[in-house]
């Protein structure tokens, strides 16, 4: 009788829910409450969650052992960088790709480019990009979508590969000794806040100014921004002395360089023409070229432009590059199923489904479409492992979180994780098949700046 009454009550409650106007009324709340059974197993999980993190309780006990760390193919690299509390992963990654090439070509014992040098010009150029964007849209109302996006995103230290290519080709590069890191370059939050305030102040002035005053007002604003950057990051060198040592520690030469002459002598590659940007975005048609408006670092630079490819085509290109000892710019959704202690990205690391007695059925396309996943962090792809049949089994990236993080400063990802959470790859043209390069002849499909897939990598 009691069971019959409960069943009848539940049916009545569900009927009431079906007629609900949209809010949680008493009948719906009662239905929700009765849906939770409070079994012994559920109480045990509830008790555990009261004093432990979800991620620690979701650890898969069957996957505790460290994965195999040997790789069939691996790019030769030296040293691990550390971006500290800054959003400059894109810059560290791009320069790490160039560093590996420079060390190998010139037989260096160790080397690191100055990230601070290019950070200075990145923030100056982004300031100009914002201010000129304000000028270009000054006839639009404040609540226009593009104006609103600009004012919400005046400046940041995140970015992507076109920032590396445009900045290096315009300003060159210098060794870390020529412009070392400062506290502010390693801890950028307060500096970004100050810069954002000044840029928003300037934006209001530009929107209200006469046309004849615009260039003068923008120049004045950029001069003030330049002064703030000098105080925070130092003065970028226009000339410096650098001593080169070979891999044995023997002195090779001491010369005076400009940033441009240094880059030309030791790297010399045309970054704007020599690389192709690839994306695996299952929400959009493959085989098409896409461009993202305002997704650039210089006003007169290049927007992020990429070819959207199935994951297997991207793997094909990545393998060819790694086999030829060439590292690549790579980005992914790094926070998913991440074992920080081991430095391993594996969908078997965490078992949320068992912990909460539920399922998480969304695939990659559905996760991207619902904002559950997207590219968040850039690293340097340096290794791939394969089984006897030639199938990829795992990958490794050089990270920029210091030598003590992850696996000796690197992260290892299973092939299954790679499929689900890898998004972007930048490869040299020589490793990209002809049929893929031909796709670049298409007119790009323009996407808006606020597209969620193209938030800056940090």
Does 416 have pLDDT greater than 50?
yes
Per annotation, catalytic residue among 67, 89, 232, 332:
89
* Helices H / strands E in the chain, number of each: 18, 14
Average pLDDT, the chain: 94
Instruction: Report the pLDDT value the prediction gives residue 455, as an integer from 0 to 100.
Output: 73
* Mean pLDDT value of segment 382-394: 97
| Cα–Cα distance for residue pair 321/431, rounded to 1 Å | 6
Q: Do β-strands 289-292 and 445-447 pair in parallel, antiparallel, or remain unpaired?
A: parallel
Does 211 have pLDDT greater than 80?
yes
pTM for this entry:
0.93
Active site residue 399: yes
Per annotation, catalytic residue among 116, 153, 280, 399:
399
Active site residue 332: no
Instruction: Report the pLDDT value the prediction gives residue 417, as an integer from 0 to 100.
Output: 98
Exposure string of 97-123, with b = 16+ CB inside 10 Å and e = fewer, is bbbbbbbbeeebeebbbbbbbbbbbbb
Q: SS3 for 56? A: helix
Instruction: Report the pLDDT value the prediction gives residue 5, as an integer from 0 to 100.
Output: 47
Residues in the chain: 458
Instruction: Read off the pLDDT band of 457 (50, 70, 90).
Output: confident
Q: SS3 for 289? A: strand
Does 2 have pLDDT greater than 50?
no
* Residue 89 in tokens: 């992963």
Instruction: Report the pLDDT value the prediction gives residue 20, as an integer from 0 to 100.
Output: 64
| Cα–Cα distance for residue pair 287/442, rounded to 1 Å | 10
Ranking 115-124, 433-442, 446-455 by mean pLDDT, the lowest is: 446-455
What string of H, E and C letters represents the secondary structure of 112-156?
Answer: CECHHHHHHHHHHHHHHHHHHHHHHCCCCCCCCHHHHHHHHCCCC
Does 7 have pLDDT greater than 70?
no
Instruction: Report the pLDDT value the prediction gives residue 127, as an integer from 0 to 100.
Output: 98
Find how far residue 109's CA is from the centre of its chain. Answer: 29
The residue ranges of every structural domain in the chain are 73-454
Instruction: Read off the pLDDT band of 442 (50, 70, 90).
Output: very high
pLDDT tens for 239-296 read: 999 999 999 999 999 999 999 999 999 999 999 999 999 999 999 999 999 999 989 9
* Residue 243 in tokens: 């001593």
Does 21 have pLDDT greater than 90?
no
* Mean pLDDT value of segment 307-321: 98
pLDDT tens for 136-194 read: 999 999 999 999 999 999 999 999 999 999 999 999 999 999 999 999 999 999 999 99
Per annotation, catalytic residue among 332, 349, 377, 410:
377
pLDDT tens for 93-152 read: 999 999 999 999 999 989 999 999 999 999 999 999 999 999 999 999 999 999 999 999
Q: What is the percent of the chain where pLDDT is above 90?
A: 91
| Cα–Cα distance for residue pair 23/228, rounded to 1 Å | 51
More confident residue, 351 or 17: 351
How is domain 73-454 classified at the CATH fold level? Answer: Cathepsin B; Chain A (3.90.70)
Instruction: Report the pLDDT value the prediction gives residue 17, as an integer from 0 to 100.
Output: 47
| Cα–Cα distance for residue pair 217/353, rounded to 1 Å | 57
Does 400 have pLDDT greater than 90?
yes
Does 1 have pLDDT greater than 60?
no
DSSP assignment letter at 304? E
* Residue 55 in tokens: 């991620």
| Cα–Cα distance for residue pair 75/100, rounded to 1 Å | 8
Q: Specify whether the CB–CB gap between 175 and 266 falls below 8 A.
A: no
pLDDT tens for 54-100 read: 999 999 999 999 999 999 999 999 999 999 999 999 999 999 999 99
| Cα–Cα distance for residue pair 299/293, rounded to 1 Å | 11
Ranking 311-315, 368-372, 437-441, 448-452 by mean pLDDT, the lowest is: 448-452
| Cα–Cα distance for residue pair 385/70, rounded to 1 Å | 8
What CA–CA distances, in Å, run from 65 to 55, 218, 349, 394? Answer: 17, 57, 10, 15
């Amino acid at each position: 009788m009691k069971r019959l009454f409960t069943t009848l009550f539940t049916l009545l409650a569900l009927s009431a829910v079906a007629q609900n106007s949209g809010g949680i009324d008493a009948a719906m709340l009662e239905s929700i409450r009765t849906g939770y059974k409070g079994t012994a197993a559920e109480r045990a999980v509830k008790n555990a969650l009261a004093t432990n993190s979800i991620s620690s309780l979701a650890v898969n006990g069957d996957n505790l052992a460290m994965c195999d760390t040997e790789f069939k193919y691996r790019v030769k690299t030296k040293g691990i960088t550390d971006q500290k509390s800054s959003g400059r992963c894109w810059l560290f990654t791009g320069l790490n790709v160039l560093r590996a090439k420079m060390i190998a070509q010139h037989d260096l014992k160790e080397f690191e480019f100055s990230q601070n040098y290019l950070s200075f010009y990145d923030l100056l150029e982004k300031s100009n990009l914002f201010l000129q964007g304000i000028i270009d849209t000054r006839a639009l109302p404040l609540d226009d979508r593009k104006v609103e996006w600009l004012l919400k995103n005046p400046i940041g230290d995140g970015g992507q590969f076109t920032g590396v290519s445009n900045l290096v080709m315009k300003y060159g590069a210098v060794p870390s000794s020529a412009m070392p890191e400062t506290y502010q370059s390693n801890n950028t939050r307060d500096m970004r806040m100050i810069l954002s305030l000044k840029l928003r102040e300037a934006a209001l002035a530009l929107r209200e100014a006469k046309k004849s005053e615009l260039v003068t007002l923008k120049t004045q604003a950029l001069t003030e921004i330049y002064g703030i950057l000098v105080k925070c990051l130092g003065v970028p060198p226009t000339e410096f002395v650098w001593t080169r040592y070979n891999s044995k520690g023997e002195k090779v030469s001491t010369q005076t360089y400009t940033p441009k002459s240094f880059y030309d002598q030791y790297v010399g590659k045309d970054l704007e023409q020599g690389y192709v940007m690839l994306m695996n975005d299952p929400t959009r048609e493959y085989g098409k070229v896409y461009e993202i408006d305002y997704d650039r670092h210089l006003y007169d630079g290049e927007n992020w432009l990429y070819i959207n490819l199935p994951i297997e085509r991207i793997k094909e290109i990545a393998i060819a590059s790694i086999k030829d000892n060439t590292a690549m710019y790579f980005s992914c959704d790094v926070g998913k199923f991440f074992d920080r202690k081991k430095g391993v990205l594996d969908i078997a690391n965490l078992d949320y489904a068992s912990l909460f007695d539920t399922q998480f059925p969304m695939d990659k396309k559905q996760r991207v479409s619902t904002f559950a996943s997207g590219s968040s962090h850039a690293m340097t792809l340096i290794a791939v492992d394969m089984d006897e049949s030639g199938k990829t089994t795992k990958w490794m990236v050089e990270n920029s979180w210091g030598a003590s993080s992850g696996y000796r400063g690197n992260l290892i990802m299973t092939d299954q994780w790679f499929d689900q959470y890898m998004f972007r790859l930048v490869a040299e043209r020589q490793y990209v098949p002809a049929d893929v390069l031909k796709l670049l002849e298409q007119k790009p499909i323009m996407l808006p700046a606020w597209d969620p897939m193209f938030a800056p990598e940090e």
